Structure 1
Amino acid sequence: MAPVIKLNDKIIEIDCSEMSNLSGIAEKVAESFFAPKEVVTELYVNDTLVKEGSVASIGGTPISEIRTVSFNTVKNPAEKVVDLLKRMSEYLEGFSAGVGEVADQFRVGSPEDANRILVQAIEGIGAFIELLSSVRLVTGSELSDLSYENKSLGEREEMLLDITKKMQTSQKEKDWVTVADLLEYELGPLMTEWKEMIPLLESEVIKST
Structure 2
Amino acid sequence: MSQYALKKEIIGTAAEYIVKASEGIEQIIDFFQSGGEDIATRMMVDLIEGIEWLVQAIEGTRDIHGKYSPDISQANSVLTEITEAYENMDYVLLSDLLEYELLPIVNLWQEQLANIKGVLDNDNAAE
**Aligned: 1:92 with 2:18:** yes
The one-letter code of the counterpart of 2:91 is W
Q: 1:147: how far off?
A: 5.0
Q: TM-score, normalised by structure 1?
A: 0.51
The one-letter code of the counterpart of 1:132 is I
Indicate the SS of the match to 1:109: coil
Query: Separation in 2 of the partners of 1:160 and 1:201?
Result: 19
Provide the residue aligned with 2:109 in structure 1: 194
Give unmatched runs, 5+ long, in structure 2: none
Give unmatched runs, 5+ long, in structure 1: 1-74
Which is helix-richer, 1 or 2?
2
Indicate the SS of the match to 2:61: helix
Provide the residue aligned with 1:160 in structure 2: 75
Q: 1:171: how far off?
A: 0.2
Provide the residue aligned with 2:61 in structure 1: 135
Q: 1:166: how far off?
A: 0.9
Q: TM-score, normalised by structure 2?
A: 0.81
Query: Separation in 2 of the partners of 1:147 and 1:115?
Result: 36
The structure number with the bigger radius of gyration is 1
- Report how many aligned residue pairs link the two structures: 121
Q: 1:189: how far off?
A: 1.8
Query: Separation in 1 of the partners of 2:73 and 2:103?
Result: 15
Indicate the SS of the match to 1:174: coil
Which is strand-richer, 1 or 2?
1
**Aligned: 1:114 with 2:78:** no
Going from structure 1 to structure 2, the CA distance change for 1:113 and 1:199 (only over 3 Å counts) comes to closer
Indicate the SS of the match to 2:113: helix
Give the structure, 1 or 2, with the largest relative contact order (CA under 8 Å, sep 6 or more). Answer: 2
The percentage of aligned residue pairs carrying the same residue is 24
